[in-house]
Amino acid sequence: MTKQLQSQWFLRGVLPACGSLVLCSLLLFSLSWAAARSDAVAVLRQRDLVTLTIAKLKAGIAHDQESATVWDDAVRNARAGNIEWIDANLGSWMHSYFGHDAALVLTSDLAPLYQFSADSDYAPTPGDLRGAYLPLAETLQGRLVAGDADGTNEKILSIGETDLSYVGFRPAIVSVKPIVSDTGDVEQTAGSEMLHVVVRFLDGDLPTVIGKEYAFSELQFSATRPRDRSLAFVPLKDRDGEIFGYFEWKPFRPGHHVLEATTPALILAFVALFAGSSLAGGAIWRRTERLAASRAELSHQACHDALTGLANRSHFNDELNRRLQEALDDERHTVLFVDLDRFKAVNDTFGHPIGDKLISLAAERMRDLLPEALIARIGGDEFTVLLQKDYALQVEKLADALVQGLKVPFEIETAHIVIGASIGVAIARGPCDPAELTRQADIALYHAKAAGRNTYAIFGDHMDELLRKRRALESDLRSAVVSGSQIETFYQPVYSASNGRICSLEALARWKHHTLGYISPDEFIPLAEEMGLIREIGSLVLEDACRTLAELPDITVAVNASARELEAPGYALRVLTTLARWNLSPDRLEIEMTESATIDNCGELGRTISTLRTAGVRFAIDDFGTGYSSFSRVQKVEVDRIKIDKSFIDDMHRSDSRALVIAMIDMARAKGLKITAEGVETTEQREALESLGCDDLQGFLMSRPLPREAAIAYVSAATSEAQIVSAV
């Protein structure tokens, strides 16, 4: 069972059940205690009542006797031995009127004169009766002789003896009374009185009669102490104080009854309590779950990148610090810096939603390739990877797999997007400073990029030296741009395909380093873009181009402009001001921009292009065919020319490349755009392009880029030669 399920089960089941059980148990305990107390009191009262009833019964029997024994007629008839009379008044009458079980009349020498027994099935034997009454009769006779009248009053007319006694094996109340004159008219000497004995069995109908009268359930006599704990009892003691037997009964327990009556209510209360607390427990659990979920969500957000779901920079750094601190001496930790190539172009070309989608898909690919690594997104198109220590030995294989994996085209909506990745790798052996490891991975990344991108580089000490060189180059470039003296402009002629004449020059920047000589723009232009110096270089080249234009009135000049320059506010004004300063017509200038810069005619770039084109400046898409969805984009962008990229011209001997060139030319024609083919190196290429209807050609076959003076001389010579040819 999961921990979550356990706590839900606890809150919804165990806790409510225990709580309800404890509460109900307390209630039950209190009720039971109160019930037991009230039952105990009730039983005590019942015992008192039974004891009192027996005492009253004993007195009552003696009292019953007196209704017939204190009577002149009784004395006379007993003396006369009138059995019939005795039976009617002192025998069976006693039974039918008072319910006595047996009656005897004894002569003064204690011999039975008359004996009556109600129970015909079991009549006590004279011997049994004698054993029971004799001690009482003797005592009574003694008292009579002694003239004892103690206890007699208005209610008790004669003295008597009563006791509990066994008649045979049957328990009974035995009462002996003298038969005496009620008027005193019949003479009697003390001790000569005849005696009347009655017996009331305790095991007969007597308990039932008492039970009915006083509401005792199942009242009965027991000779031994009752063992059944549910029964109440009182001991019956004879006149000597000896326990004679017990009366037992099923006691009325009011508390018990109350408890029985309240039990269903208690069960209901338990169910209601359980249901209520379970509901409350459920609510608490849900709330806790929600809180826990939002806490988890918050801590996830704090550690993760929202777009890709990968870790973010701070989480990555924390984890890296932790692992490097805990690293054992022989343990290896590997960090990869991954930078997507050409991502900015995708973002500029397709817009941010597609760019975001691309980043997500690239992140997904990386996760699939390295499921166990910690991958973080630390910038727009920058990722860091921390490999599990066991993978350090396979790092080359893994880095290569990443490079290959990210090279595979992404299909987003209808676009087919090819990017790539450069990866820098740094490996720590044992504990290491995370900042140093990060620095090394960064340097390695720079090397991977410098090596032509779409590759990986593993940090080595030699790289530090290269980095130092780059820093030096950066510093040199800054001072070169500031002084302006080392940035030169070369010019490469562009020829008309129809007549082979020079129609234009492309201005290309050169950096003449004081110790390293000429440095290629492919190397320093990206550096200048990164350092924010491209605007200054653009201005220097534009100034030089205008100066050249002023000297060569018959041709036009093209300058290259990076997207960053074009997007910067004030570019159009700067261009037009420079042209005006040199007194040049704007239609003699063409601006070449790479395809990735050609986004829709909106925003700053759109306004710049439209302002300049309105003034007469022409625009060309450089390196046409290498960007994204060239054909669809050219529909939207206002340009005058396309420059087919050198890579297509190089491959023109291949039919697919040739077909592409034909398609580009057809499209440009349809749009009314001029076409230049760049990088023409062979006569085959030139002839093919001429026959396909390309407008202008540029390439080493005709001319390399030339320093300014050489270019001016070259163009001047070529134009005058053409003039001579045309004059001839």
Q: Which stretches of the chain bind ligand C2E, using CB under 6 A?
A: 492, 508-509, 520-522, 525, 537-538, 541, 560-562, 592, 622-623, 678-681, 698-700, 705
Q: Which two three-digit tokens encode residue 248? A: 């037992």
Query: Smallest gap, in angstroms, from Cβ of residue 711 to Ca ion?
Result: 15
Task: Tell whether residue 193 is a contact of Ca ion (CB under 5 A).
Answer: no
Contact 558, 592 (CB under 8 A): yes
Query: Smallest gap, in angstroms, from Cβ of residue 485 to ligand C2E?
Result: 16
Query: Taking CB within 5 to 8 Å according to partner kind, which of ligand C2E, Ca ion, none is near residue 403?
Result: none
Backbone angles phi and psi of 621, in degrees to 5: -95, 120
C-beta closer to Ca ion: residue 381 or 592: 592
Task: Tell whether residue 560 is a contact of Ca ion (CB under 5 A).
Answer: yes
Task: Tell whether residue 489 is a contact of Ca ion (CB under 5 A).
Answer: no
Contact 652, 661 (CB under 8 A): yes
Three-class secondary structure of residue 643 per DSSP: strand
Cβ-count burial of 116 within 10 angstroms (0-12 exposed, 13-18 middle, 19+ buried)?
buried
Query: Smallest gap, in angstroms, from Cβ of residue 678 to Ca ion?
Result: 5
Judged by CB under 5 A, how many residues of this single chain contact Ca ion?
Answer: 5
Query: Taking CB within 5 to 8 Å according to partner kind, which of ligand C2E, Ca ion, none is near residue 521?
Result: ligand C2E
392, 386, 378: which is closest to 339 by C-alpha? 378
Query: Smallest gap, in angstroms, from Cβ of residue 473 to ligand C2E?
Result: 16
What distance lies between CA 609 and its chain's CA centroid? Answer: 55
C-beta closer to ligand C2E: residue 440 or 548: 548
C-beta closer to Ca ion: residue 138 or 681: 681
What distance lies between CA 566 and its chain's CA centroid? Answer: 51
Query: Smallest gap, in angstroms, from Cβ of residue 701 to ligand C2E?
Result: 6
Contact 484, 684 (CB under 8 A): no
Task: Tell whether residue 128 is a contact of Ca ion (CB under 5 A).
Answer: no
The β-bridge relationship of strands 332-341 and 382-387 is: antiparallel
Task: Tell whether residue 696 is a contact of Ca ion (CB under 5 A).
Answer: no
Contact 350, 628 (CB under 8 A): yes
Report H helices in 157-205.
Answer: none
Which x/- pattern, by CB under 5 A, does the window 621-650 give for Ca ion? -xx---------------------------
- Scanning 138-146, 222-230, 257-265, 617-625 for contacts with Ca ion by CB under 5 A, the matching segment is 617-625
Q: Which two three-digit tokens encode residue 355? A: 């760019």
For 397-436, where are the E strands, in sequence order?
410-412, 415-417, 420-429
Q: What is the DSSP string of 287-345?
A: HHHHHHHHHHHHHHHHHB-TTT--B-HHHHHHHHHHHHHH--TT-EEEEEEEEEETHHH
Query: Taking CB within 5 to 8 Å according to partner kind, which of Ca ion, ligand C2E, none is near residue 595?
Result: none
Cβ-count burial of 353 within 10 angstroms (0-12 exposed, 13-18 middle, 19+ buried)?
exposed
Query: Smallest gap, in angstroms, from Cβ of residue 614 to ligand C2E?
Result: 23
- Distance in angstroms (rounded) separating the CA atoms of residues 617 and 170: 144
Query: Smallest gap, in angstroms, from Cβ of residue 524 to ligand C2E?
Result: 9
C-beta closer to Ca ion: residue 210 or 502: 502
Contacts for 237-240: CB closer than 8 Å, 24+ residues apart: 237/164, 238/163, 238/164, 238/165, 239/163, 239/164
Query: Smallest gap, in angstroms, from Cβ of residue 643 to Ca ion?
Result: 6
C-beta closer to Ca ion: residue 592 or 595: 592
C-beta closer to ligand C2E: residue 270 or 624: 624
Query: Smallest gap, in angstroms, from Cβ of residue 647 to ligand C2E?
Result: 10
C-beta closer to ligand C2E: residue 508 or 579: 508
Query: Taking CB within 5 to 8 Å according to partner kind, which of ligand C2E, Ca ion, none is near residue 538?
Result: ligand C2E
Contact 443, 424 (CB under 8 A): yes
Query: Taking CB within 5 to 8 Å according to partner kind, which of ligand C2E, Ca ion, none is near residue 631?
Result: none
Query: Smallest gap, in angstroms, from Cβ of residue 332 to ligand C2E?
Result: 41
Q: Which of 592, 595, 695, 696 binds Ca ion (CB under 5 A)?
A: 592
Query: Smallest gap, in angstroms, from Cβ of residue 298 to ligand C2E?
Result: 46
Query: Taking CB within 5 to 8 Å according to partner kind, which of Ca ion, ligand C2E, none is near residue 533?
Result: none
51, 54, 61: which is closest to 161 by C-alpha? 61
By CB under 5 A, what part of segment 673-692 binds Ca ion? 678
One-letter amino acid at 145 equals V
Binding site for Ca ion (CB under 5 A): 560, 592, 622-623, 678
